[in-house]
Structure 1
Amino acid sequence: MKRRKIALHWQILGGLALGIAYGFLASAAGWKGFTLDWIKPWGTIFIRMLKLIAVPLIFFSLVQGIGSLQNISKLSRMGLKTLMLYVASTVIAITVGLGLVNLIKPGSDFPEDKKAEFQEIYGGDAASKINLAHGNEDGPLKFIVDIVPDNIIGAASSNVNMLQVIFFAILFGIALVLLERHKVETVHKFVSGVNEVIIAMVRLIMKFAPYGVFALMGSLMVELAGDDPVSSIGLLQSLGMYALVVIAGLLFLVVFIYPSLLAMFTKLKYAQFLKGVLPAQLLAFSTSSSAATLPVTMRQCENELGVSREVSSFVLPVGATINMDGTSLYQAVAAVFIAIVFGYDLTLGQQLTIILTATLASIGSAAVPSAGIVMLVIVLESIGIPSAGIALIFAVDRPLDMFRTVVNVTGDSTIASIVAASEKKLHPEDLELKKE
Structure 2
Amino acid sequence: MDNKNKAKPSGNIWTRLELWKKILIGMILGVIVGTVMGPDAEILKPIGTLFINAIKMLIVPLVFFSLIVGITSMQDTNKMGRISLKAIILYLGTTAVAITIGLGLAALFTPGAGLNMIANNPDAIGKEAPALVQTLLNMIPQNPVGALAAGNILQIIIFAIGLGVSLALIGEKAEPAIKLFESLAEAMYKLTELVMKLAPYGVFGLMAWVAGKYGLEVLLPLIKVIAVVFLAALLHIAVFYTGMISIVARLNPIRYLKGLSNPAVVAFTTTSSSGTLPATIKASREEMGVSKGVASFVLPLGATINMDGTALYQGVCALFVAQAFNIDLATSDYITIILTATLASVGTAGVPGAGLIMLSLVLTTVGLPIEGLAIVAGIDRILDMARTTVNICGDMMVSILVAKSEGELDMDVYNSKEPAAGAPSVAEVKTA
Same fold by TM-score greater than 0.5: yes
Aligned to 2:367: 384
Query: What letter is aligned with 2:310?
Result: T
Q: For residue 423 of structure 1, report the CA deviation from its aligned partner.
A: 0.8
CA-CA distance at 1:419 after TM superposition = 0.5
Q: Post-superposition shift, 1:138?
A: 10
Partner of 1:402: 385
Residue aligning to 1:76: 81
Q: What is the identity, as a one-letter code, of the residue corresponding to 2:100?
A: T
String of CA shifts for 1:277-326, please: whole Å, max 9, x gaps. Answer: 22211221122121221222112111221100111112111111111111
- One-letter code aligned to 1:342: F
**Structure 2 CA distance for partners of 1:98 and 1:266, relative to 1, 3 Å:** same
1:316 corresponds to which letter in structure 2?
A: L
Distance in 2 (alpha carbons) for counterparts of 1:259 and 1:412: 13
Distance verdict in 2 for CA 1:291–1:143, change over 3 Å: farther
Q: 1:246 is matched with which residue?
A: 229
Aligned to 2:403: 420
Of residues 337, 342, 345, the one that matches 2:320 is 337
Partner of 1:106: 111
Q: Counterpart of 2:90?
A: 85
Letter in 2 for 1:90: T
Alignment match of 1:276 (pick from 239, 259, 263): 259
Say if 1:307 and 1:428, in contact at 8 Å, map to a contact too.
Answer: no
- CA distance, structure 1, for counterparts of residue 236 and residue 335 of structure 2: 20
Taking the aligned partners of 1:372 and 1:343, their CA distance within structure 2 comes to 23
Moved more, 277-286 or 414-423: 277-286
- 3-state SS in 1 of match to 2:400: helix
1:372–1:144 CA distance, 2 compared to 1 (3 A): farther
Counterpart contact for 2:117–2:326, Cα < 8 Å:
no
Kept in 2: contact 1:297–1:409 (CA 8 A): yes
2:34 aligns to what? none
For residues 159 and 411 of structure 1, the distance between their equivalents in structure 2, rounded to whole angstroms, comes to 27
Q: What corresponds to 2:246 in structure 1?
A: 263
Counterpart contact for 1:290–1:409, Cα < 8 Å? yes
| Cα distance in 1 for residues equivalent to 2:10 and 2:382 | 21
8 A Cα contact 1:377 1:387, kept in partner? yes
SS of residue matched to 2:321: helix
Call closer, same or farther: CA 1:154–1:358 in 2, change over 3 Å: closer
Q: Give 1:260-339 correspondences, 5 Å limit.
A: 260-339=243-322
Kept after mapping to 1: 8 A contact 2:229/2:386 = no
Separation in 2 of the partners of 1:107 and 1:346?
A: 14
Q: 1:386, 1:419 → 2: CA distance?
A: 40
**Hey, what's the Cα distance between the residues in 1 that align with 2:408 and 2:14?**
47
Q: Which AA in structure 1 matches 2:108? A: L
Q: Confirm or deny: 8 A CA contact 1:370 1:401 kept in the other structure.
A: no
Contact conserved, 2:269 with 2:385, CA < 8 A, in 1?
A: yes
Q: Give the CA deviation at 1:154.
A: 5.7
Indicate how the Cα distance of structure 1 residues 33 and 272 shifts in structure 2: closer, same or farther if over 3 A, else same.
farther
Verify the 8 A CA contact 1:287 1:369 in the aligned structure 2. no
Amino acid at match of 2:93: A
| Cross-structure match for 1:97 | 102
Cα deviation for residue 266 of structure 1 reads 2.6
Which digits, 9 at most, give the CA deviation of each residue in 1:191-230, with x for residues without a partner?
xxxxxxxxxxxxxxxxxxxxxxxxxxxxxxxxxxxxxxxx
**Cα distance in 1 between the residues matched to 2:103 and 2:291:** 35
Distance 1:317 1:435 in 2: 23
Evaluate the alpha carbon distance shift between residue 418 and residue 160 of structure 1 in structure 2; reply closer, same or farther with a 3 A threshold: farther
CA RMSD in angstroms comes to 4.0
Distance 1:138 1:260, change over 3 A: closer
What does residue 150 of structure 1 align with?
179
Q: 1:350: Cα distance to partner?
A: 0.7
- Relative distance call for 1:157 and 1:377 in structure 2 (3 A) is closer
TM-score w.r.t. structure 2 length? 0.59
Q: Take 1:155 and 1:312, find their aligned partners in 2: how far apart are those partners? A: 30
Change (3 A) 1:139 1:112: closer
Q: State the alpha-carbon separation in 1 of the partners of residues 10 and 288 from structure 2.
A: 43
* Amino acid paired to 1:426: L
CA distance in 2, matches of 1:380, 1:419: 34
Distance of 1:370 and 1:76 partners within structure 2: 31
Q: Deviations over 1:358-413 (max 9, x none)?
A: 11122222225531210111111111112122111112111101110000010011
User: Residue 385 of structure 2: SS of its match in structure 1?
Assistant: helix
Moved over 3 A (4+): 32-41, 136-140, 142-149, 151-161, 233-238, 430-436
Query: Following the alignment from structure 1 to structure 2, what is the Cα–Cα distance between the partners of residues 156 and 107?
Result: 35
Matched residue SS, 1:387 = coil
Shift of 1:347: 0.7
Following the alignment from structure 2 to structure 1, what is the Cα–Cα distance between the partners of residues 189 and 239? Answer: 32
* Amino acid in structure 2 at the alignment position of 1:370: G
User: How far has the Cα of 1:328 moved from its partner?
Assistant: 0.5
C-alpha distance in structure 2 between counterparts of 1:155 and 1:292, whole Å: 24
